Amino acid sequence: MSTVPGFLLDRVTVTRGPTRLLDGVCARLPAGACTAVVGPSGAGKSTLLRLLNRLEDPSTGQILLNSTPLAELEVLALRRRVGLVAQQPVLLTNHVAEELRVGRAELTEHRIQHLLDLVGLPARFAQRRTSGLSGGEAQRVCLARTLAVEPEVLLLDEPTAALDAVTTAVITEAARNHTAAGGTVILVSHDLPLVRGIAEHVLVLHHGRLVAHGHPDHIDYLEAG
């Protein structure tokens, strides 16, 4: 097998009972770029994303990261390299500063201030209780918590769905900054203007199958949106 930077999906199938959520998907998700995964509801987009940090495993086929099978990597170590920002923010602690230290206990005050700044939250938010945050603020804290671990890959699962314009702009900027710094972004989104704005590469799924891939300018699915 040749060395392929980024993820390589090799005939990946995911079955649940009689249902094929993904069906023989072969794809490359290049390192250092933003790849968007698009397609209609139920196409298997979130399932694909969840495979990339092993929240799920393929039923058959395999996934390689920089030519190493994910199955050979220790799961927690993989999740530090491949950070997920989910559609619904899930906060795990009572205070924002504590939340940012979930994956990196030694985070300094200075670094916490920097992370809050990156996600457009004022410094005083470090002392805020997580229970009082708005949906957009909670999503930005989740993004900061993921960035705190400095993952090489950022998985964004519908991160801007039903959020305010400021939060959407912050997440878009974070995705751009991540690839500009050499990192990899995999974005699942129904927001086709967002996809056109930040993705260099698009995968189109339909009924669990990869039906098109390439540059956003050459993807009919984006034109229809």
Binding site for ligand ATP (CB under 6 A): 16, 19, 21, 39, 41-47
Question: H/E element holding 188?
Answer: strand 184-188
Q: Whole-angstrom Cα distance, residue 110 to residue 61?
A: 44
**Beta carbon nearer to ligand ATP, 152 or 191:** 191
How many separate helices (H) and strands (E) can be counted in the chain?
Answer: 8, 10
Closest to ligand ATP by CB, 39 or 151: 39
Phi, psi (deg, nearest 5) at residue 57? -120, 150
Work out how close the CB of 75 gets to ligand ATP at its nearest, in angstroms, rounded to a whole number.
Answer: 19
**How far is Cα 190 from Cα 203, in angstroms, rounded to an integer?**
13
Q: To the nearest whole angstrom, how small is the minimum distance from the Cβ of residue 45 to ligand ATP?
A: 4
By beta-carbon proximity to ligand ATP, the closer residue of 137 and 158 is: 158
Residue 147 is encoded by which pair of tokens? Answer: 């960035």
Interatomic CA distance for residues 85 and 65, integer angstroms: 19
Q: How far is the CB of 115 from ligand ATP (least distance, A)?
A: 28
* Cα separation, 141 vs 137, whole angstroms: 6
Q: Closest separation between CB of residue 192 and ligand ATP, Å?
A: 13
Q: Which residues on adjacent β-strands are paired with residue 131?
A: none
CB of 52 to ligand ATP, least distance (A): 12
Between 18 and 182, CB nearer to ligand ATP: 18
Q: Looking at beta carbons only, is 46 or 179 nearer to ligand ATP?
A: 46
